[in-house]
Chains A and B, each alone.
Chain A
């Protein structure tokens, strides 16, 4: 069975702090894809990144970085120097064959 666990329900940080959102997944598929999506207070869902199971290279995009480790089945997301605009719910997701499984989300509050 596939499963995505985001153990952090809510995180509050002060602006400019770094913050890491954890994501742990379970799957028996050898080929799978991992995603992060952002849901700001306005409610839309925005794609941030995709990683496939054969690519364990970490990725950095501006203040965002992602650490994918197959050995621990984790795909963590770090925001460096957080800003108020980063306040949102962040979802980690797993796609194997046709089905999409989302975690329960982590609500990030960045305080000015």
Chain B
């Protein structure tokens, strides 16, 4: 089944404790990206990747890192999480490098930073 898999679904952590949210897709998509969803703000793009080893900032990249060492994986790293990063996070992939095709989303990761 074609899918984007995010883990974990729920995560509660403390300020400053490094964490990684994994994202993997099995559709051989070139484009992958991360979003955070906050009430009243919709979905905001954090980072995106057009291909292996090629990443760029979205609209809200501060406090986040990503890597794209393999085509299928695109982990989101919070080196020192803070409470303002409490949010619902979505990973997504798209079949075209520019991101012009519809996004396939993972099921989301609800992160709470205390």
Contacts and interface: CB of A to CB of B under 8 A. Distances in A.
Nearest to B56: A98
Contacts of B103: 35, 37, 45, 47, 100
A102 B44 contact: yes
A98 B40 contact: no
Interface string A92-112: 010101111111110000000
A43 interface: yes
- Chain B interface helix/strand/loop/mixed: strand
A64 interface: no
A95 B100 contact: yes
Interface in B11-55: 31, 33, 35, 40-45, 48, 50
Contact of A99 (B40, B41, B48, B102): B48
Contact of B100 (A33, A47, A105): A33
A91 interface: yes
Interface of B: 31, 33, 35, 40-45, 48, 50, 56, 58-59, 88, 90, 92, 98-105, 107-108
30 contacts: A6-B42, A9-B40, A33-B100, A35-B102, A37-B103, A43-B108, A44-B107, A44-B108, A45-B92, A45-B103, A50-B101, A50-B102, A91-B42, A91-B43, A95-B98, A95-B99, A97-B98, A98-B48, A98-B98, A99-B45, A99-B48, A99-B58, A99-B99, A100-B48, A101-B45, A102-B42, A102-B45, A104-B40, A104-B41, A105-B43
Interface of A: 6, 9, 33, 35, 37, 43-45, 47, 50, 52, 91, 93, 95, 97-105
